[in-house]
Amino acid sequence: MAGVRLRNVTKIFDKNLEAVKNLNLDVKDREFVVLVGPSGCGKSTTLRMIAGLEEVTRGEIFIDNRLVNNVPPKDRDIAMVFQNYALYPHMTVYQNMAFGLKLRKYPKDEIKKRVKEAASILGIEDLMDRKPRALSGGQKQRVAVGRAIVRKPKVFLFDEPLSNLDAKLRVQMRTEISKLHLKLGATIIYVTHDQVEAMTMGDKIVVMKDGKIYQIDTPLNLYNKPANLFVAGFIGSPSMNFFNGVIEKNEDLFFIEGDLKFRIPDRFKTRLLKYKGRKVIMGIRPEDIEDVTEKDDNNNKAELEVVEPMGNEIYLYLKTNFNNFVARVNANRKYQEGQVLSLYFNMDKSHFFDKETNISIIN
């Protein structure tokens, strides 16, 4: 296995479309790194440049400390698993898995051994004689992964491999790929637009937008310490709530939006004092808003517009004269649309962003 390094990598397509902008990324040996971001953010293009399927316009890509910009895909010692599986329809599962090794002129016995090994890891031994059309989506996915495993590559590249599967199978395959990562001790770079997939699978997550990296961090840090407004809103479901207001100082330091008023916790005071009288964005996650009777002056009133029971919890969609927001509360109380609630905002868990730069003021 091996690490991958991207240095100032830029990709410009025709008509000056800059799909990837000056990207720097270090993927360590055996690390599972997920590139995540909305459609068109450049994550597939980045992966394809690592694979050698797309030329690098500027910058350098190293695999296992070797500069690979001019190395053809077949000599990069990587294996890629695509969204559409890309299986050969006229070949059996065995032949599909063996094909890459056959091309590379591996001895027959070695091919047999490797295919058998991979099939056993993936639990598809019984499918060896079937053609792809006789396989379910999940089975095709396993064969596509198997075809990558038999090559024993330095790096595995996955491009949205689960997006053609139904929700249940997606969750199951997600766990399987995570287990596979542990079993093979593999270096994996995985592209998805699904933040839940990213959060549950990656050791390290790269959040991208408009061809740029917005944050590289562990799943927990992305959630608890988003570096900017985009990451704060992108990671988490339902999304973080945002309020546009000002920092005011009278007897204490407050964030004010219309008639909503929140006391700023001591630990944020030094940094927010600099924003006195200025507009900032306050963010708070739905689970950090509680429906409890007055705890302190961080209770604010809002009208309940929609109630969404989720079984173990309830999503409350609320509105004030200035804003809409969501609270995620315990399912132990009955709610009525139109009701006015007094909600406690756990400001210790709040986030603040500079209104001009959208960068976090507190992280």
Q: Which residue is nearest to ligand ATP (CB)?
A: 44
Helix (H) or strand (E) holding 271: helix 266-273
Shorter beta-carbon distance to ligand ATP: residue 194 or 313: 194
For ligand ATP, which is the closer residue by CB, 48 or 147? 48
Q: Where are the beta strands (DSSP E) in the chain?
A: 4-13, 17-27, 32-36, 58-63, 66-67, 78-81, 155-159, 187-192, 204-209, 212-217, 241-249, 253-257, 260-263, 279-284, 289-290, 299-309, 313-319, 324-330, 340-345, 351-354
Region from 41-49, 130-138, 176-184, 308-316 binding ligand ATP, contact rule CB under 6 A: 41-49
Q: Min. distance of Cβ 160 from ligand ATP in angstroms?
A: 7
Of the pair 13, 88, the CB lying nearest ligand ATP is at 13
Does residue 163 contact residue 141 with C-beta atoms inside 8 Å? no
Write the interaction track for ligand ATP spanning residues 192-231; mark x where CB under 6 A is met and - where it is not.
Answer: -x--------------------------------------
Going residue by residue from 16 to 35, which x/- string records binding to ligand ATP, judged by CB under 6 A? -x-x----------------
**Shortest Å, Cβ 43 to ligand ATP:** 4
Candidates 9-17, 57-65, 149-157, 278-286: pick the segment binding ligand ATP (CB under 6 A). 9-17
Query: Is 39 an interacting residue with respect to ligand ATP (CB under 6 A)?
Result: yes
Q: Which residues pair with 328 in a beta bridge?
A: 315
The Cα-based distances of 241 to 238, 261, 324 in angstroms read: 9, 15, 8
CB of 200 to ligand ATP, least distance (A): 18
Of 205, 233, 206, residue with least CA distance to 23: 206
Nearer CB in complex with ligand ATP: 54/257: 54
Q: Does 302 bind ligand ATP (CB under 6 A)?
A: no
x/- track of binding to ligand ATP for residues 175-194 (CB under 6 A): ------------------x-
Stretch that binds ligand ATP, among 13-21, 118-126, 276-284, 345-353 (CB under 6 A): 13-21
Instruction: Please tell me whether residue 268 adopts helix, strand or coil conformation.
Output: helix
Name the burial class of residue 231, with classes exposed (0-12), middle (13-18) and buried (19+) by CB atoms within 10 angstroms of its CB: buried
**264: which DSSP letter?**
P
Residue 182's φ and ψ, nearest 5 degrees, are -65, -45
- What's the min distance (Å) between Cβ of 67 and ligand ATP? 22
18 vs 64 by CB, closer to ligand ATP: 18
Distance CA 245, CA 362 (A): 16
Neighbouring C-beta atoms of residue 301, cutoff 10 Å: 12
Does 43 help bind ligand ATP (rule: CB under 6 A)? yes
Q: How far is the CB of 70 from ligand ATP (least distance, A)?
A: 20
Closer Cβ to ligand ATP, 63 or 207, answer by number = 207
**Hey, how many other C-beta atoms are within 10 angstroms of the C-beta on 25?**
19
Q: Which is nearer to ligand ATP, 193 or 355 (CB)?
A: 193
Under the binding rule (CB under 6 A), the answer on residue 45 touching ligand ATP is yes
Q: Could you give phi then psi for residue 183, rounded to 5 degrees?
A: -65, -45
Interface residue with ligand ATP, options 5, 22, 28, 40 (CB under 6 A)? 40
Shortest Cβ 207–ligand ATP spacing (Å)? 12
Contact call for residues 157 and 78 (beta carbons, < 8 A): yes
Q: Which CB sits closer to ligand ATP, 174 or 209? A: 209
CB 85 within 8 A of CB 144: yes
Nearer to ligand ATP, 19 or 341 (CB): 19
Strand partners, 261: 256
Our finding on whether 41 is near ligand ATP (CB under 6 A) is yes
CA distance 191 to 205: 10
Residue ranges that bind ligand ATP, judged by CB under 6 A: 13-14, 17, 19, 37, 39-45, 193
